[in-house]
């Protein structure tokens, strides 16, 4: 419902990552799968989760006598270990073992180094498309005699730095992930409670806003987004204030809000 409300094109979603099987993290999924069916999706959909999600989804499909018009591909992973789930031309996605009441993993999205960029201002109007493609590989373009036709550094700019994003929810304070998410461009970290409820956070294996900010500081994140707030907090500004006192570049994760990373 929220994806529709914020006009996210759901047919573009090809992979879905579920951190753990507490209901607040997957109960909307079956509805989304049926929406995709109603939209006559044809391409396969990959679902990643700790073991058990396939049983839950398949049981719902079975008892509603539903056959989806696209293929669902389940990938279950062991959330206690770091594992690369996706590795393609542009990025890798790996699990981050978290500390929670149920087996739970976050996800680290890392872009791969990017190719050099064509400097459009310097491009000659008669240059061939294949020469542009070759310049993007970082090489000089030679003519048939082996003489340099286009020197790479004259026509290209340095690549933009690859970006990274760590999604960490739900978790208690988790020292063991600091190295894995070191220098991440954006850290999403749960902040279920405020520090005055630290005992409750420890008991339920959640974090406080202050702990989320301490984690951002310890791992050298460039930006922190906090979310997963307990329903007891009507106002979220105090959670933000608690976090920014420790780590300044913090924002509240508000549904529908677009967060752009510097590139
Ligand atoms: Zn949970
Ligand atoms: Zn949760």
The alpha carbon of 49 and the centre of ligand 2 are apart by a number of angstroms equal to 14
Same domain, 211 and 101: yes
User: How many other CB atoms sit within 10 Å of the CB of residue 255?
Assistant: 9
The alpha carbon of 22 and the centre of ligand 2 are apart by a number of angstroms equal to 6
The alpha carbon of 181 and the centre of ligand 1 are apart by a number of angstroms equal to 20
The alpha carbon of 123 and the centre of ligand 2 are apart by a number of angstroms equal to 51
Residue 76 · residue 50 · CB < 8 Å: yes
Same domain, 223 and 238: yes
Last residue of a domain, one of 134, 157, 180: 157
Q: How far does Cα 211 stand from its chain's mean position?
A: 21
Tally of domains in the chain:
3
Minimum-distance ligand to the CA of 101? 1
Minimum-distance ligand to the CA of 172? 1
Catalytic option among 24, 71, 78, 154: 24
To the query of whether residue 24 is one of the catalytic residues in this protein, the response is yes
Minimum-distance ligand to the CA of 21? 1
**125: pLDDT strictly greater than 90:** no
Same domain, 168 and 260: yes
Same domain, 153 and 90: no
> What is the model's pLDDT at position 263?
59
* CA 51/CA 98 separation, integer angstroms: 15
DSSP annotation of 172 = S
Mean pLDDT of 157-164: 94
Minimum-distance ligand to the CA of 22? 1
Same domain, 141 and 245: no
Residue 123 · residue 132 · CB < 8 Å: yes
The alpha carbon of 206 and the centre of ligand 1 are apart by a number of angstroms equal to 8
Same domain, 67 and 13: yes
Helix (H) or strand (E) holding 31: helix 29-38
Mean pLDDT of 142-160: 92
Mean pLDDT of 154-170: 95
The alpha carbon of 102 and the centre of ligand 1 are apart by a number of angstroms equal to 7
Same domain, 109 and 3: no
**120: pLDDT strictly greater than 90:** no
Same domain, 175 and 216: yes
Of the chain, the percentage scoring pLDDT greater than 90 comes to 90
Same domain, 17 and 69: yes
Six token digits for residue 96: 């981050």
From the number of C-beta atoms within 10 Å of its C-beta (0-12, 13-18, 19+), residue 43 rates as exposed
pLDDT digits (tens, 9 = 90+) for 9-60: 999 999 999 999 999 999 999 999 999 999 999 999 999 999 999 999 999 9
By the CB criterion, residues less than 5 angstroms from ion ligand 1 are 22, 170
pLDDT digits (tens, 9 = 90+) for 167-193: 999 999 999 999 999 999 999 999 999
The alpha carbon of 116 and the centre of ligand 1 are apart by a number of angstroms equal to 42
pLDDT digits (tens, 9 = 90+) for 55-82: 999 999 999 999 999 999 999 999 999 9
Of residues 106 and 137, more confidence is placed in 106
190: nearest Cα among 256, 258, 103, 100? 100
* CA 215/CA 186 separation, integer angstroms: 12
Same domain, 105 and 167: yes
Minimum-distance ligand to the CA of 205? 1
CA distances in angstroms from 246 to 180, 210, 217, 218, 240, listed in the order given: 21, 7, 8, 11, 10
Mean pLDDT of 203-222: 98
Under the banding of pLDDT at 50, 70 and 90, the label for residue 222 is very high
The alpha carbon of 119 and the centre of ligand 2 are apart by a number of angstroms equal to 46
């Amino acid at each position: 419902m929220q994806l529709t409300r914020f006009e996210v094109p759901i047919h573009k979603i090809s992979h879905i990552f579920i951190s753990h099987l507490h209901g607040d993290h997957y109960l909307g999924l079956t509805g989304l799968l049926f929406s995709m069916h109603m939209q006559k999706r044809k391409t396969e959909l990959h679902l990643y989760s700790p073991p058990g999600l396939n049983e839950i989804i398949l049981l719902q499909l079975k008892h509603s006598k539903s056959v989806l018009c696209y293929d669902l591909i389940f990938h279950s992973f062991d959330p206690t270990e770091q594992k690369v789930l996706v590795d393609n031309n542009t990025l890798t996605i790996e699990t981050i073992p978290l500390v929670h009441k149920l087996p739970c993993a976050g996800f680290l999205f890392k872009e791969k180094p990017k190719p050099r960029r064509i400097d459009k201002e310097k491009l000659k109007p008669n240059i061939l498309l294949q020469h542009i493609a070759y310049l993007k590989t970082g090489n000089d373009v030679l003519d048939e005699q082996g003489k340099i036709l286009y020197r790479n550094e004259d026509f290209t700019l340095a690549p933009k730095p690859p970006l990274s994003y760590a999604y960490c929810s739900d978790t208690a304070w988790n020292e063991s992930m600091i190295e894995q998410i070191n220098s991440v461009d954006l850290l999403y970290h749960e902040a279920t409670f405020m520090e005055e409820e630290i005992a409750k956070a420890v008991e339920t294996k959640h974090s406080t806003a202050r702990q989320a900010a301490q984690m951002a500081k310890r791992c050298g994140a460039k930006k922190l987004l906090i979310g997963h707030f307990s329903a007891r907090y009507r106002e979220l500004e105090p959670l933000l204030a608690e976090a920014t006192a420790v780590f300044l570049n913090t924002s509240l994760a508000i549904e529908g809000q677009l967060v752009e990373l510097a590139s």
